[in-house]
């Protein structure tokens, strides 16, 4: 039985002449949370961004190897990038709601894909409920998203991403700019959301990786050093480098 939604083999990523990711093989099972850890500049964010082709925006970026999403190579010419990104949602390090109302932040993309007004109301409510934000904002849906706190803004961004019903959610250090309480809410949310979505999260916070992920991947200098069950990773890592990193000897 093969339950993997993404399968990457021999993936290398180059920025011009610099190689940022070296021959990475990794698979992601459906409805699981995978955490990427590693010191700054190790390539974990770069790798994450190759999964929805956000790296395309950076000039002179080149990806070699194969990334299969549902058995389809996402870098083949047959793939429409827009459709790919609809299936692979993303939340960024800094909350980045649009300069629009809370409602329009969520309705913008579904409307673009042709959803009608009545459906939009439902999508907005269900997305906000899933992001555990509905009760806090239901009375001010048409107020600016920037009236919300940082943590609320980040949950709004998560709601915005799941409004498109993606299969996969990529979270790029989603709690790096948030206070502990907001961080905890996002972490609870991630655990909640994995029922429906496959989640890949980049984090600098090892405790966070340990708390919420099923499996953890450790990147170092562009190499994937180890990818294994989170419990095993934090108790009995098989690589010396991993052990050094998680025990705080470097990084």
Partner 1 sequence: MNAKLANRVATIIITSFAYLIILILAGLLGYILYNGLSVIDWDFVTSPPESLSAGGGIGPQLFNSFYLLILTMLITTPLGLGAGIYLSQYAPKNKLTNGIRTSIEVLSSLPSIVVGLFGLLIFVTYTGWGYSLISGALALAVFNLPLMVRITEEAIETVPKEQIEASLALGISKWKTITHVILPAAIPGILTGTILASGRVFGEAAALLFTAGMSSPALDFTSMDITSSSHPLNPFRPAETLAVHIWKVNTEGLIPDAREVADGASAILVLSVLVFNITARWFGSWIYRRITSHS
Q: Which residues are at the interface with partner 1 (CB under 8 A)?
A: 52, 54, 57, 81-86, 89-90, 92, 94, 96-101, 103-104, 108-109, 112-113, 141-142, 144, 157, 160-161, 164
Cα 239 to Cα 237: distance, rounded to the nearest angstrom: 6
Closest approach of Cβ 102 to partner 1, in Å?
9
**Burial zone of 239 (CB within 10 Å; 0-12 exposed, 13-18 middle, 19+ buried):** middle
Q: Toward partner 1, which CB reaches closer, 97 or 237?
A: 97
CB closer to partner 1, 38 vs 89: 89
Q: Which is nearer to partner 1, 121 or 243 (CB)?
A: 121
Task: Please list the residues that pair with 89 across neighbouring strands.
Answer: 169
| Tokens at 109, concatenated | 């993309």
Whether residue 178 contacts residue 151, with contact meaning beta carbons closer than 8 Å, is answered with yes
What does the DSSP 8-state code read for residue 140? Answer: G
- We find the least distance from the C-beta atom of residue 136 to partner 1, in angstroms, to be 18
Q: Which two tokens stand for residue 63?
A: 């990806």
Per-residue tokens: 105: 């932040």
Least distance CB 221 / partner 1 (angstroms):
26
Cβ closer to partner 1: 153 or 230?
A: 153
CB of 144 to partner 1, least distance (A): 7
């Amino acid at each position: 039985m093969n339950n993997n939604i993404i399968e990457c083999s021999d993936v290398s990523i180059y920025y011009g002449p610099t190689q940022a990711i070296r021959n990475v093989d990794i698979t992601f099972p459906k409805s699981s949370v995978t955490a990427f850890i590693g010191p700054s500049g190790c390539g974990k964010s770069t790798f994450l961004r190759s999964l929805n082709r956000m790296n395309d925006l950076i000039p002179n970026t080149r990806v070699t190897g194969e990334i299969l999403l549902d058995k389809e190579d996402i870098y083949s010419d047959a793939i429409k990038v827009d459709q790919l990104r609809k299936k692979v949602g993303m939340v960024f390090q800094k909350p980045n709601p649009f300069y629009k109302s809370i409602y329009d932040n969520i309705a913008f993309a579904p409307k673009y894909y042709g959803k009608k007004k009545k459906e939009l109301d439902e999508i907005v409510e269900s997305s906000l409920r899933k992001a555990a934000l509905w009760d806090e904002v239901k009375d001010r849906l048409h107020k600016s998203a920037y009236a919300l706190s940082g943590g609320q803004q980040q949950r709004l961004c998560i709601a915005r991403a799941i409004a498109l019903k993606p299969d996969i959610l990529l979270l790029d250090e989603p709690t790096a700019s948030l206070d502990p309480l907001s961080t905890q809410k996002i972490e609870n949310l991630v655990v909640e959301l994995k029922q429906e979505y496959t989640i890949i999260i980049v984090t600098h916070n090892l405790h966070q990786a340990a708390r919420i992920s099923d499996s953890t991947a450790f990147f170092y200098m562009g190499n994937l050093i180890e990818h294994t069950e989170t419990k095993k990773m934090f108790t009995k890592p098989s690589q010396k480098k991993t052990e050094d990193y998680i025990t705080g000897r470097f990084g």
